[in-house]
Chains A and B, each alone.
Chain A
Amino acid sequence: MLSTLLSQIINGLVLGSLIGLIALGYTMVYGIVQLINFAHGEIFMVGAYGGLAMFSYLLPTALKNQWYFALPILLIAGAAVSVLVAVAMERLAYRPLRGAPRLAPLITALGVSVALQEAVRVFYPNATAALPFPNIFVPGTLIIPFGDGIPIRYSAMLLVVVSLALAFALNSFVERSRMGRAMRATAQDPDVARLMGVDPDRVIVLTFALGGALAGVGGILYGGLYNTVNIDMGFQNGIFAFTAAVLGGIGSIRGAIVGGLAIGLVKALGGQYLPGGTAYDYVWIFVVLIVVLVFRPQGFFGETERVRA
């Protein structure tokens, strides 16, 4: 009983740190250009497929079983593919719409999302069905001797550690570095930032690239954890991540991680204990999303609601 609860909490935290990692991309982009980058979930998905392609077609067979070679290579490949797609998306789809009426970029984002998902489905070999993803880390499961035993997979631990480390790194980048300061300045007031010598276009591209890199890494970690990838994973997890970003307070890095963990817990515990079981666990997340947006749109760590036209 208690061990079920604990293992569900652990499941929730693992999923939550993944969602938090994706949420960082949402929160940064929204903080700077006030755009719900709907396609961000697909960036995550594209990263997973990029890593899978690297593993299946490029990686020498000798290295495939040595995770300390394969893992960094896959992470870099996934991140690279995601960054590429994210930057291309910003340049081709979003930049021309800067200053357009507010519905236009959101609809563009929907279009990009559908197009990316379909592009992978059509052009990636056999992507119409879910594809197996290699185990990229120490295989097996650690069993914590408590009650009936609480299993934790090593790849789940990897996911949590990498996610939190990346979030921490991102936080220090934004807080400490010169470019980070430029990002914060642009988020506060793009016009004044420009007067102070910040190039908003560069900041925006950097934001998309950073978000893309995190999502790409997330995609690889997701594949490694669940050993399967499919083209819907971006949409689902993207929505969860968006919920997490809002829940934590959009624009806040800390908030994205905390929000992600909360969403992960809602899914795991809701699926276990709420009526309807796992068939309805998605529903609970959406309910949380609605409740948060309606009653506390500024989230946990957000500033008081900005009035937007």
Chain B
Amino acid sequence: MTTIEAPPSAIVTPPRSRLDALWAALAPRATMLRALAGVLTIIGTYLPWATFVLNDGPYPEKSTLNFFVDPFGVTGYRLHLLVIGIAMIVVALVKLPAAGRIIRGLGWGTVAVSVINILYLTIAGGGLGTITASDGSVAFGAIVALLGGLLAVVGGTAGGLGTKPELTWKLAWWVEWLILLVVFAIVLFLVAGVLTSGGQGGVVNPYAGPVFLLVLGALGGAISALSASGLLTWVSAVSERHRLFSVVVLLVVALLLPLTSAGTEYWMTVAANIGVYAATAIGLNIVVGLAGLLDLGYVAFLGIGAFVAANLSGAAASEIGIELPFPLVMIISAVVAGMFGAIVGSPTLRVRGDYLAIVTLAFGEIFVRSAQNNIGGLTGGANAIPNIPAVSAFGQSFAAPLTIGAVKLPSGVLYYVLIVLLVAAVMLIFANLKNSRLGRAWIAIREDEDAARAMGIRTGPVKILAFMIGATLAGLAGAFFAHKTGVAAYDSFQFIQSVTLLASVILGGMGTIPGAVLGASILFVLPEKLREFTDYRLLIFGLALVVIMRFRPQGLIPDAHRRAELAPDADDVTPVVDVKK
């Protein structure tokens, strides 16, 4: 895309397409457009959004991150839009580097919020009348805000996006520590807020889905604006400088989640499930993200781990009926899954690319079919293996509530703590592997297998190791999963789960840790929140895969190397040299 720099007289390149010509024509009025966008957004905020109260009670009022209580007469998404609108005006008038890019990010956020509202209100309210006019009342709020958002996108692009500044501030170490502490505390509250926003989905709260999406939309806009301002890059550079400190604080922050608004049994369960899939996704990330071997049957390893654990933990339905201590069970599950990983990986010696994907799919299907048919009496077939005993340590069952002194914690907290530690361990393994000789060998194979072989990498064993290690991590997660849910059933490990895991790795960004965690969180929280849209869940999911591959194949948090390869337009690329120093 051609970028036209800020002073409109200095047009760098002649307009290439009709769109570029439009940007050039609008460039002189960019500041006005941007301010107007902010004003429109704010006006939209204060207009009514629906012409009547929906059946399930007043809709917008429930849309709130619960730590903001009604400061400006508006709550929820309206408050978010108000903040965004003010930010737009400020950024439009104050001279900032990359102002256009910031405004564009905010604009997309506004567009997302208004579109989600329009869709939900019209569908749930029955027709366009809901958002325009009926019964003499007018509710143009959504449309005005949408216009504001679009105008921000247009104005931001027209005035020149500007280049993302590289902030190089260096402060005293303790100031940087303080900043990191504050940032991580904010992250903790955001995570808790986003997770609980809209409340529990389903019958309990019919608005959970749209409210959650609204929060995501607003947050996405805010994050892309922050990222455009260069602040995010700076913060991550700072945390890179204090690596150990950041890791420790992040772990503590994760362990503190039960003390926030998310500290109820329900959210702890959701968080623990996310943890299981995040750990599995990181394992898959080794195979797909690092070694570039597409695995379409990966969830089988989670299943193998779960079934092994189910059989060794004294579940009554198990035909083996021995009961081993949980840590041992985990290790055995991981080892068995790893062995299967080596088996599934062995065709990689001869098969490449798409064919390998199909081979792994076939293994996955064989696993599901066999589990469904209760192969060897090990999987319980259609009855599954129920009543797997909960983990317990020091006389404290992990499924029971916990009281430490005066603090009462809901049940499930211990499982949450366990999975946080597990995910942390998996992350540590991944990070170390990635930077090891083996990790570099995987990346070399991903980039060009023949060249890697020519450089002296023994590609065969290295590829099998990728499968083995990935499967081992999934097996660990599977053992946890079996104990946490208490059931190991074949239908938790079907093809669609493999696709979802793969999608979470891709959505997050292949080859990165935060990417896999973010992707897994999004893809496994959404169904919780969108209970009333269960029917459309997979449809949207499939379409989303297509759209992501089309517009952002590198994922939300791309790996530096991959970013250079996959980025669709050059202006999003940070040169690899800068990142690596």
Binding site for B on A (CB under 8 A): 34-36, 92-93, 96-97, 100-108, 110-119, 122, 235, 239, 242, 246, 276, 279-280, 282-283, 286-287, 289-290, 293-295, 297, 308-309
Chain B residues closer than 8 Å to A35, beta-carbon distance: 354
Q: Name 16 extra pairs, CB < 8 A, besides A293-B355, A309-B450.
A: A100-B549, A100-B553, A104-B549, A106-B294, A110-B542, A114-B538, A118-B536, A118-B542, A122-B536, A242-B358, A280-B369, A283-B365, A283-B370, A286-B363, A293-B351, A309-B448
CA distance A115 to B544 in the complex (A): 9
Docked pose: A102 CA to B350 CA in angstroms: 18
A283 to chain B: which residues have CB within 8 Å?
Answer: 365-366, 369-370
Q: Is B91 an interface residue (CB 8 A)?
A: no
Q: Are B546 and A115 in contact (CB under 8 A)?
A: yes
Q: Which residue of B lies closest to A296 (CB)?
A: B350
A290 and B347 contact, Cβ closer than 8 Å, known pairs A36-B354, A106-B357, A118-B539: yes
Smallest CB separation, B227 vs chain A (Å): 24
Shortest CB–CB separation between residue B451 and chain A, in angstroms?
A: 10
* Inter-subunit contact B542/A115 (CB<8 Å): yes
Closest beta carbon of chain A to B354's beta carbon, Å: 5
CA distance A102 to B553 in the complex (A): 11
Residue from B350, B363, B503, B539 in contact with A122 in the complex, judged by beta carbons closer than 8 Å? B539
B373 touches A280 (CB 8 A): yes
Which residues in B have their C-beta under 8 angstroms from that of A280? 369-370, 373
B541 contacts partner chain A, Cβ-Cβ < 8 Å: yes
Enumerate the 3 nearest inter-chain pairs by beta-carbon distance, A residue then B residue, closest first.
A111-B545, A115-B542, A114-B542
With A103-B294, A293-B347, A297-B350 as contacts: A112 and B542 at CB distance below 8 Å: yes
Given contact pairs A36-B358, A289-B362, A111 touches B539 in the complex (Cβ within 8 A): no
Main secondary structure of the interface of A (DSSP, over half): helix
Please give me the residue from chain A that is nearest to B354 by CB atom.
Answer: A36
In the bound assembly, the distance between CA atoms of A36 and B506 in angstroms comes to: 19
Number of A-B pairs whose CB atoms are under 8 Å? 127
Q: Do B545 and A114 touch (CB < 8 A)?
A: yes
Q: Are A122 and B359 in contact (CB under 8 A)?
A: no
* Interface presence of B499 (CB below 8 A): yes
The residues of A that contact B539 with a CB separation of less than 8 Å are: 114-115, 118-119, 122
| Size of the chain B interface, CB-CB below 8 angstroms | 45
Q: Mark B493-506, 1 if CB is under 8 A from A, else 0.
A: 00110010011001
Other-chain contact of A108, B357, B495, B549 (Cβ < 8 Å):
B549
A138–B215 Cα gap in the complex (Å)? 59
CB neighbours (8 Å) of A105 from chain B are: 549
Cβ-defined contact, B538 with A118, below 8 A: yes
Which residues of chain B from 520 to 547 have any CB-CB distance to chain A below 8 Å in the complex? Answer: 535-536, 538-539, 541-546
B502 surroundings in chain A (CB, below 8 A): 107, 110
Q: Which of B288, B499, B550, B553 contacts A114 (CB 8 A)?
A: B499
B541 engages A287 (CB within 8 Å): no
Q: Which residues in window 141-159 of B have CB below 8 A to A?
A: none
Within 8 Å of chain A (Cβ to Cβ): is B353? yes
A294 with B351, Cβ < 8 A, contacts A114-B541, A280-B369 known = yes
Q: Which of A115, A279, A286 contacts B362 (CB 8 A)?
A: A286
Does chain A have a CB within 8 A of B570?
A: no
B457-514 interface (Cβ within 8 A of A): 495-496, 499, 502-503, 506
Residue of B nearest to A294 (CB): B347
Bound Cα distance from A122 to B542, whole angstroms: 13
Contacts of A290 in B (CB 8 A): 347, 359, 362-363
